[in-house]
Amino acid sequence: MKPPIALLTDFGTKDVFTGVMKGVITGLAPGFPIVDLSHEVPPQNVLVGALWLHGAVHFFPPGTVFLCVVDPGVGSGRQILAAQVGDWLMVAPDNGLTSLVMERHGLKDCVSVQEPAYRLPSTSATFHGRDIMAPAAAHLAMGLPLHSLGPSLAQPVKLHYPAPLLRNGQIRGQVLYVDHFGNAVTNISGAMLPPGAELRLGALVIKVSGTYSDVPVGAPLALVGSTGRLEISVNRGNAASELGLGEASRVLVTSPMAQHPDTSEGE
């Protein structure tokens, strides 16, 4: 069975951008399954795209080609990379979109996509996903050697990841993104949580739970979600709107043993 080509973009589903890229891929690599990982990355949000990719790749079979297009620098001097990362191949703008996956699974080889023979005859300044990246991904799926696409790229761009701060027995973190259900996903990993951990949002104190059903319908809770990170939720509700949370909202995690926690960092 042919390995899939997986697409991750911020294109949404209203316009034809995603469908056109699929048309290019199908024309160059017929018969390869195409998987829509997501097209709802918040527009131009490279960090969220990198996080979603980081959490998804290990569920795909070896040889999968990931075509990732979150590209606020399209048409500029930024490079386009093609890389072997772990057991997978990736094509993306060189803006840090693949850097979290590279750190976790290991970068084996990387090139700058420059060879005109493996792109569309005419390229737009605003749609490199269609004209350059989709053809590169299709050719790689068909077995093209990585270095046929261009010269080596020794140091791909690394993305700044806002790491949580552990100080005085407290964990200061932030919301990374809000998912479809209104859950606020933080940068605090479940492995960091002390026994009996409590989340503090200003004056609101929420004990970390195991499941949504641990609290009544409509009540707020915090739990470790499928990403392995602490999430702030409302049982059958929307935590982002009900608690006023958004990207970069600050959160504080404490232990019941902590005395007089400083909540100023969690507001």
Query: What does the block give as tokens for 83?
Result: 């890389």
Query: What does the block give as tokens for 9?
Result: 């973009």
pLDDT at residue 255, rounded to an integer? 85
Query: What are 139-178's pLDDT values in tens digits?
Result: 999 999 999 999 999 999 999 999 999 998 899 999 999 9
Query: What is the DSSP pairing of strand 65-69 with strand 88-93?
Result: parallel
User: What strand order describes the sheet that includes 80-85?
Assistant: 34-38, 5-9, 65-69, 88-93, 80-85, 107-112
Residues above pLDDT 70, as percent of the chain? 96
For 165-266, the fitting CATH number among 2.40.30.90, 2.60.40.10, 1.20.1260.10, 2.40.10.480 is: 2.40.30.90
Reply yes or no on whether the pLDDT at 262 is more than 90: no
- DSSP code per residue over 226-262: TTSEEEEEETTS-HHHHHT--TT-EEEEE-TT-SS--
For residue 267, name the pLDDT band (cuts at 50, 70, 90): very low
Task: State phi, psi for 179 to the nearest 5 degrees.
Answer: -85, -175
Query: What residue ranges do the domains of the chain occupy?
Result: 5-148, 165-266
d(CA 134, CA 94): 15
Nearest to 21 by CA among 61, 65, 59: 65
Query: What are 197-234's pLDDT values in tens digits?
Result: 999 998 999 999 999 999 999 999 999 999 999 999 99
Query: What does the block give as tokens for 53?
Result: 């990719």
Query: What are 95-116's pLDDT values in tens digits?
Result: 999 999 999 999 999 999 999 9
For residue 258, name the pLDDT band (cuts at 50, 70, 90): low
> Against a cut of 0.95, is the pTM above it?
no
Longest Cα–Cα distance of the chain, Å, equals 66
Class of domain 5-148: alpha beta
